[in-house]
Structure 1
Amino acid sequence: MNYRHAFHAGNFADLVKHAALLQLLGRMTAGAGPLAVIDTHAGRGLYDLAGPEARKSGEADAGIVRLMAARDAPAAFAPLVEAVKALNGGGPVRRYPGSPWLIAERMRAQDSYLACELRAEEHAALRDLLKGRPNVSALCADGYAMAVERCPRQGAVLVLIDPPFERADDYARIVATVAGVRRKNPLAQLLVWLPLKDLETFDAFLRDLEDGAQAPALVAETRMRPLTDPMKMNGCALVLVGGPEEMAPTLEAICGWTAQTLGDRGAGRVHRI
């Protein structure tokens, strides 16, 4: 697989995914019980926005840099903004945190985090980043398989599924993973990120997920532009399986602001399946 997230770190899709992730983590760590988090496609965990990849794409300038300068961003973005500020010492945005950094920073003593990354080079960087943190581990393995195998049978569980979508079977494997995790632990929550290219592909995935997951789900769409060219990434979507209905207004705020402020005739919508 040739995908390298360094080109895309801090783009609009990261803002949507990470703002929602932090809001969900905040809810799930508010209770007294332990939380187990599994990240199926973790990446390297921390990205240099001054590096050649990020500078070449310019996606961070159109994403996190604009968010940090915005005065009208909804409160749903506040945890992400604060995390980026802390990472950069309150100065210019030169580094952007991936999901491993954001999750590991919020783990309590009783929580655990398993970050899976199949690419050897990315895994090596991830392992070094997370080294020394208690109850946090980085595994060079198939994250889909590990999500089901390592999912605890009881207690609070959050599985983040965010593949690069370079394989033809990614959509099918997501459905199978969601079903497998939910069979093992019916209380598990799963947050799935997907690109929005064309509605036919997306709607087919949602139908398969609805049949396989056997659990209610919130679907949050960030349409950055009209979905008229299936060769382009026209937006992104989050699917929260088994999560609280109370997340809907938060997701609406995140998707709506991103699409309307950073997009071209963009719009956000949240619905249930």
Structure 2
Amino acid sequence: MNYRHAFHAGNHADVLKHVVVLALCEALAAKPAPCFALDTHGGRGLYRLDGEAAQKTGEAQDGIARLQAQAPRDPAVQRYLAAVRACRAQHGAQAYPGSPWLLAHALRAQDRIVACELHPEEAQLLRSRFAGDPRVAVHAGDGYAALKALLPPRHGAQRYARGLVLIDPPYETQLAEFDAALAALREGLLRWPQGTFALWYPIKQGRALQPFRRAAAALPAKSALRLELLVRPDDSPLRMNGSGMLVLNAPWQFDAAMRPALDALRAALGDAGAAACVDWLRPPP
């Protein structure tokens, strides 16, 4: 595995993913019962945008930097920008939070978080990042395997009726990764049918994702919601023109909250021909 997220931290795909993740966390935290979160591909948890990797690609300039400059007033976007400010208050002006950091930031003392990372060096950095947080457990290993090992979630006598599974693979081999992610979602839903599952995926050409969307709609979930942000027209097969989030068992009225958020992201991050959509592949009953 050669993928390192440090090259892509803070880009437009991270912005979309993290806006959605924080909105899901807010929905989970709205009820007093403890909840559980599993991040299957956690990376190192915290990045530096002035580091060599981020500077080499410069992708954050068209992502978080561009969004901060425009600061849309949408509540979900403002929640994300506030989380980035909180991260930088702790770790410096060039810090950028990965999804494990955001989960730990957004969830509560009674909640539990498990973050997995396959790459040994990244896993060690992730473990050291959360060494002092009793809510967070780090597993150095395959996040897909963790779905079988950890679902349905429990901690001692505590069983969790509510929670989030975030799957954010590297898509180094795209067709194989889509198949693996769909299989993992099916397995996870069978083990924990009441959980919310969120899968991030890249978009080069949207029409190539039609088989994936049909397969996602057939998963054994109560509902399947897609949220997609294209920052440029998807007429080039050679670059990532946007990305999406598939949310299974989305919280009540989550689509209504996300539509203005994605419109705000499209306006702030998009070039000519940018587009955003929030629609149901399978509407809730």
> Shared topology, TM-score over 0.5?
yes
> Conserved in 2, the CA contact under 8 Å of 1:49 and 1:93?
no
Of 182, 196, 204, 2:189 maps to 182
1:117–1:139 contact (8 Å) kept in structure 2: yes
Secondary structure at the counterpart of residue 225 of structure 2:
strand
Query: Aligned partners of 2:103 and 2:193: how far apart in 1?
Result: 22
- Pick closer, same or farther for the CA change 1:77–1:93 going to 2, 3 Å: farther
Aligned partner of 2:250 in structure 1 is 243
- Alignment partners' CA distance in 2, 1:71 and 1:239: 25
For 1:268, give the aligned amino acid.
Answer: A
Partner residue in 2 for 1:172 = 179
**TM-score when scaled to structure 2?**
0.90
Distance in 1 of aligned mates of 2:206 and 2:86: 38
Identity of aligned residues (%): 37
Q: 1:102: which partner in 2?
A: 102
SS state at 1:79 partner: helix
Q: Alpha carbon RMSD of aligned pairs, Å? A: 1.8
The structure-2 alpha-carbon separation of the partners of 1:174 and 1:8, relative to structure 1 and needing over 3 Å to count, comes to same
Deviations 1:190-222 (A, max 9, x none): 011000112243111111122233431110110
Aligned to 2:78: 78
Q: CA deviation at 1:152?
A: 2.1
**Contact 2:72/2:78, CA 8 A, preserved across alignment:** no
Tell me which amino acid in the other structure corresponds to 2:34. Answer: P
Aligned length in residues: 273
Residue 48 of structure 1, CA deviation: 0.6
2:83 and 2:105 in contact (8 A); partners too: no
Please say which of residues 107-116 and 149-158 is displaced more in the overlay: 149-158
The question of whether the paired residues in 1 share the 8 Å contact of 2:76 and 2:261 is answered with: yes
CA distance in 1, matches of 2:217, 2:231: 25
Equivalent position to 1:272, from 268, 271, 280:
280
Q: Is the 8 A contact 1:218 1:245 kept in 2?
A: no
Distance 1:29 1:73 in 2: 22
Post-superposition shift, 1:2?
Answer: 1.6
2:171 is aligned with what amino acid?
Answer: F
2: CA distance, partners of 1:67 / 1:200:
28
Inter-partner Cα distance in structure 2 for 1:23 and 1:237 = 15
1:209 aligns with 2:216: yes
Q: Measure how far apart 1:4 and its partner are.
A: 1.2
C-alpha change, 1:90 and 1:109, in structure 2 (3 Å) is closer
Which amino acid in structure 1 is aligned with residue 172 of structure 2? E
Asked if 1:232 corresponds to 2:235, the answer is no
1:44 paired residue number: 44
The amino acid across from 2:167 in the alignment is I
TM-score by length of 1: 0.94
- State whether structure 2 residue 71 is matched by structure 1 residue 64: no
Q: CA deviation at 1:155?
A: 0.6
Unaligned runs of 5+ in 1: none
Deviations 1:24-71 (A, max 9, x none): 101101111111100010000000111111112111122111222224
Greater alpha carbon shift after TM alignment, 85-94 vs 114-123? 85-94
| Residue matched to 1:163 | 169
Checking the alignment, whether the CA contact within 8 Å between 1:175 and 1:213 is kept in structure 2 is no
SS at match of 1:187: coil
**How many Å separate the matches in 2 of 1:249 and 1:34?**
25
Range with bigger deviation, 101-110 or 117-126 = 101-110
Task: Give the distance between the partners of 1:181 and 1:34, measured in 2 at CA.
Answer: 19
Aligned to 1:125: 125
Q: Is the 8 A contact 1:16 1:254 kept in 2?
A: no
1:125-160 deviation digits (Å, cap 9, x = unpaired) = 100001121131111111112123202265112100
Question: Shift of the alpha carbon at 1:76?
Answer: 1.3
Distance in 1, matches of 2:142 and 2:210, equals 26
Q: CA deviation at 1:232?
A: 1.1
| Corresponding letter in the other structure for 1:228 | D
